[in-house]
Chains A and B, each alone.
Chain A
Amino acid sequence: MLAFALRRLIQAVGVIVVVALISFTLFRFVGDPINQLAGQDTTPAQRAELRRDLGLDDPVVVQGARFVVNAAHFNFGISYQFKRPVADIIAERLPATLELSILSAIFALVVGVPMGVYTGLYPSSWLSRVFLATSLLGVSLPTFLIGILLIFVFSVDLGWLPSFGRGDVVTVWGAWTTGLLTASGLKSLILPTITLGLFQMTLIMRIVRGEMLEVLRADYIKFARARGLSRRAVNFGHALKSTLVPVITITGLQLGSIFAFSIITETVFQWPGMGLLFLQAVQQVDIPIMAAYLMLVAVIFTVVNFIVDILYVAVDPRIRIRGVEA
């Protein structure tokens, strides 16, 4: 098990390094940092000095190494748009997105898994058909459309929930701004969470359902029934457990990408998070923020995947314990 963990760790680091290289290439070669940072009326001498200060005259390899080292220290340089350190901007906006992402992930799991199990166990019931129809909608409606629809119904029409912003936020632990502790903050979280989580929820539901149907056809389920085990024991003790094991990997992959999906939701709801920040950076070609965002996404995704892999190994004894050859 330790060897497995080590291998996955090395793989994870490998992915991050590659992403770092891509980020660096972006950083260095797309657009001209000097032009972006300096104003119109800086003299060539001042520009040259700026070049030296930023280390742009050093060999590419050195710059690359410096980039990676800086990245490890969360130093991504100065944003072209805001003329402030990228790290500060990220620190301000990160809690908003993280809060939203985590809540959406929880929503997707808590709703998606039971729905998937139900439709797998009772495929012909009318409730299953309703769930399946909903899931089809969830997969077919683009996220932004869902957001707009929700806003239209709950904000414009009914006026129950706010249509943009985070509401009132409270700062805890020195740097983390949370909306969970205020009424308006909570209300502001509802629609974006559903919007961001709906697509994931339907995906999870479909995956769980598919696995469930597969597993229920397996020989060991037939044998369990032949032994007279109760329906509960067969469906939940055996079938469910087997279903959830591969589902862990797939949903982990999905959930790791929720962070990046927040771009859309944040745009629709004007949510002041990383996603909106990245979008503006793309529009304004603010390379440092783009590069930093990429790294962040890669790290989060890799960490989530790593946890999921370890979880999978912990749950499936076939990997954990070496078997006997027949």
Chain B
Amino acid sequence: MSEIVAPANIPPAPRSAFRRFLDSDMFYSFIGSPVTVVAAVITVVLVAAALAAPLIAPHNPFDPASLSITDSLLPPAWSHDGTSTYLLGTDDQGRDVLSTILYGMRISLSVGFASVLLAIAIGVPLGLIAGYSRGPIDALIMRVADVQLTFPAILTALLIDGVARGIAGPQAYNDVVFPVLVLSIGLSFWVQYARTVRGSVLVEANKEYVLAARLIGLRPAAILFRHILPNVLGPVLIIATINLALAVITEATLSFLGVGVPPTQPSLGTLIRIGNDYLFSGEWWITAFPGITLAVLVLAVNLLGDWLRDALNPKLR
């Protein structure tokens, strides 16, 4: 009766990378949360709209020649004074609100992305160096970070803006306003990346695989980039998403305060500021539509960031 039988071991057929992605827990939690899906769709639509602004905007609000002051302060198309030429109405210069929103979003998003990239480019390497080398370099970087943290992003951005204004003079300032904006916003955000990356490096650097790499003789730079960096990318991505929302808000705030983009190339914040003066007299659309767009954009990005944080959190898996 007895026969020792070993069970057959047939390995399962390998699945393509795409199939594995669809099966993954991350995608499952994405699909399972309708709010996140909607947020993702909205973000994609808005970003696409912003990128395609020159193609899809009915007017070009940045071209002074195309503006007609007689068309100013027209209400949206569905009000009884509005026309279908200007779907969402016009501002005090006769600019089409819809077109300005599209172009303005373009500016906001490009400044936002660029500043986040700059912050990452500064913060991640500094964090890696600080965490890996410890000692006086680490202390120095962390002290600089401490000083930076004393000032919230708005203040740093305002400061750099003011200094640039002071150095360049009002005329030349307008020419360099975009790099200055990116620089000022980016410089206010690097600390978060540096600290998080440094924390991750401190944890990873004590692990055995790093010790093994050092014993083999790998140079510190190689260890940092090949081994430690992939492990810290998750948190960086999460911060970057939430940062993007914050960068867009900061740019809008700076423009609202009058120290952002020049009035000839208005962004969402500028429009809101212009519209603020007309709120009391009833021309609500100049503030309302850019405001709603800004809010929806930032909300969508924040929701994505929230989902990303939960999905990448190892403790919740």
Contact = CB atoms under 8 A, between A and B. Distances in A.
Given A142-B252, A148-B291, A156-B279, A297 B259 contact: no
A156 B147 CA distance: 41
Contacts of A256: 150
A151 B279 contact: yes
What band does the interface of chain A fall in when counting residues whose beta carbon is under 8 Å from B? 35 or more
B302 A136 contact: yes
Contacts of A263: 154-155, 158, 257
A293 to B, nearest CB: 9
A302 B146 CA distance: 10
B143 A14 contact: yes
Contact of B279 (A19, A31, A152): A152
B163 interface: yes
Given A282-B162, A283-B258, A290-B162, A18 B147 contact: yes
Contacts of A257: 151-152
B159 A140 contact: no
Contacts of B154: 260-261, 263-264
B161 interface: yes
Interface in B288-305: 291, 294-295, 298-299, 302-303
B245 interface: yes
A294 B159 contact: yes
Interface residues of B, number: 41
B280 interface: yes
Interface string A116-145: 000000000000000000001101111111
Nearest to B301: A140
Interface in B255-309: 256-259, 269, 272, 276, 279-280, 284, 287, 291, 294-295, 298-299, 302-303, 306
The interface centre, meaning the residue of B150, B245, B258, B302 with most chain A CB atoms within 10 A of its CB, is: B150
Given A263-B155, A282-B259, A294-B159, A145 B150 contact: no
B165 interface: yes
Chain B: interface secondary structure?
A: helix
Interface in A101-118: none
A96 interface: no
Contacts, number: 113
Interface string A18-59: 110010001000110000000000000000000000000000
A301 interface: yes
A142 B294 contact: yes
A260 B152 contact: yes
A31 B166 contact: yes
A148 B166 contact: no
Given A31-B166, A139-B302, A142-B249, A301 B150 contact: yes
A128 to B, nearest CB: 15
B165 A282 contact: yes
Given A148-B291, A301-B150, A267 B257 contact: yes
B163 A145 contact: no
8 contacts: A18-B147, A142-B252, A144-B253, A145-B272, A148-B272, A148-B291, A152-B284, A261-B154
Given A145-B295, A148-B291, A263-B158, 11 more contacts: A15-B150, A18-B147, A22-B147, A30-B167, A141-B298, A152-B284, A156-B280, A261-B152, A285-B165, A285-B166, A294-B159
Which 8 pairs, one residue from A and one from B, show the smallest C-beta to C-beta distance?
A282-B162, A140-B299, A30-B166, A257-B152, A140-B298, A31-B166, A142-B249, A285-B166
Interface of A: 11, 14-15, 18-19, 22, 26, 30-31, 136-137, 139-145, 148-149, 151-152, 156, 217, 253, 256-257, 260-261, 263-264, 267-268, 278-279, 281-283, 285, 287, 290, 294, 297-298, 301-302
